[in-house]
Amino acid sequence: MQRALSFDSSPPLSIPLRFIVSTPAFVLLAGILLFWYGPTALISRWNSSALAITHLFTLGVLGNVMAGALMQILPVATGIHVISAKTTAYVVHVSLCLGSIILATAFIMFSPVLFGLALVLLAAGMWWFAVAVLFGMWVHRKQATKGSPTILMAVRLAVISLVITVLLGLTLAGSIALELPLPRQLTDLHASWGTLGWVGILIIGISFQVIPMFQVTELYPKFITRWLALVIFIILGLTTANSLVNWSIKTEVSLLISSAAILAYLVYAAVTFDVLRQRKRPEPDTTTLFWLTSIASLAACFPVWLLHIANVADLSVTLGVLFIIGFAWSAVNGMLYKILPFLLWYNTQRKLTIALRSVPKVKHFMPDSYVRPQVYAHWIALSLLIMASIWPHWLTHLSAIALCVSALWLMLNMKQALQLYLHAKYAIKRELKEKESTNPAG
């Protein structure tokens, strides 16, 4: 049984659209940067170019699309409205885009001044977003729809994880900006709260809604929607406590906690695969293929992590590629092919009181046969990136080109959808005028 959705509560199109259209541009920018710096960007996660590319993805790509998706899905799926949505969208989008670019530049140039400027922009935008979402949950808590508490739990924990990520990032960036010793023990915590917390928990929470809705599946099992996000959040809390306390079994406890985190995400991957396997539509569409890529990448993190902790090789970059690009970006890319067409279709006929022949169907905005090749381009880029993380000298430039091609393909697909939307709005206006002229009394 599907949850009831309130489409009348959908925010103006401009709110989620600005975030969505910015996303592939940052993927393209990350690909260009990867090509420019070549193998050095994938030799170590600590290289300045690697840090720049990573933050372009986590902030510019995932931050943009997840902020936009959250501002769209919250009111429709849960009845909760973000406070001052239009102002929040403007402030967050500007600060996120500018801050991401300046931060990437700061890593490359290692400029304390730029780190300070990026710190101000990103902190202001992320704090504004967190307060607007959490305060909105409190103010509109009585309007929450039936079945929404599980989604709201995941969103709330994800946003709290974002706050913690920002606090840790402020500490790290502030140390560089003030030219103080860098507290290295906080870097892993910053990465963990940002990826496993903010990104991971939010994707999990959103998938509880969008997979049943767009893939026509049964709802996720209650034990997953009720407990999984909370378990991951608690694990991250234990990770933080263990890293800040000095004791003799710190390494052993860290390994145990990491194993629990991996297990939690493996459970999510297995359950999501089972939910998708039982979808009502037997033929997989493009979004289905992206979701399957996402959970396969997530599952692949487990053997790679085992090899990494066994000191077979330093596979930290491979893990980052699998989680950030394989899991997170694959899921987000796939969701865009459902969310954007639906938003454009809904807003073409949102204020109409009569049916018009000039209103396109949802599937016309991004026909599956037309957008399908982009998933193949994504597979090639992801495969090359995984191999390049192991053999950077041979495959980095090729993987960067493939990533840019995939991003440009997505941009082209978005451009076609937006052109159809503008054409449809014009055609609707013209058809309404024709009806008025032929039936003045009506």
What single-letter amino acid sits at 164? Answer: I
Residue in 405, 418, 298, 430 with CA at minimum distance from that of residue 24: 405
Query: What is the pLDDT, as a whole number, of residue 132?
Result: 93
Residue ranges in 216-329 assigned as alpha helix (H) = 222-244, 250-277, 286-309, 316-320
CB 301 within 8 A of CB 265: yes
Instruction: Label residue 181 exposed, middle or buried (CB < 10 Å: 0-12, 13-18, 19+).
Output: exposed
- Residue 124's CB is within 10 A of a number of other CB atoms, namely 15
Residue in 302, 311, 315, 308 with CA at minimum distance from that of residue 267: 302
| Confidence (pTM) | 0.93
Residue in 234, 270, 211, 209 with CA at minimum distance from that of residue 157: 234
Residue ranges in 391-440 assigned as alpha helix (H) = 392-438
Distances (CA, A) of 372 to 130, 377, 402, 405, 410: 35, 9, 16, 14, 10
pLDDT per position in the chain (442 positions), as tens?
445 567 777 889 999 999 999 999 999 999 999 999 999 999 988 889 999 999 999 999 999 999 998 898 888 888 888 999 999 999 999 999 999 999 999 999 988 889 889 989 999 999 999 999 999 888 887 777 776 777 889 999 999 999 999 899 888 877 777 767 766 678 889 999 999 999 999 999 999 988 998 888 899 999 999 999 999 999 999 999 998 888 888 888 889 999 999 999 999 999 999 999 988 887 899 999 999 999 999 999 999 999 988 888 889 999 999 999 999 999 999 999 999 999 999 888 877 767 777 888 889 999 999 999 999 999 999 999 999 999 999 999 999 999 999 999 999 999 999 999 999 888 888 877 877 777 665 5
Residue in 133, 124, 287 with CA at minimum distance from that of residue 198: 133
- DSSP labels for 157-174? HHHHHHHHHHHHHHHHHH
Q: How far apart are CA 47 and CA 108, in angstroms?
A: 9
441 SS3 class: coil
CB 340 within 8 A of CB 414: yes
Within a 13 Å sphere around the CA of 429, how many CA atoms are in the beta-carbon half? 6
> Given the structure tokens 């706050």, which residue do they identify?
163
Residue in 359, 361, 345, 367 with CA at minimum distance from that of residue 427: 359
Name 115's Cβ contacts closer than 8 Å, sequence gap at least 6: 103, 106, 173, 176, 177
And the tokens for 28? 């393209």
Give phi and psi for 279, each to the nearest 5.
Answer: -65, 155
The domains of the chain, with CATH numbers, are 7-348+357-425 (1.20.210.10)
Name 100's Cβ contacts closer than 8 Å, sequence gap at least 6: 26, 55, 56, 59, 60, 63, 122
Query: What is the pLDDT, as a whole number, of residue 1?
Result: 40
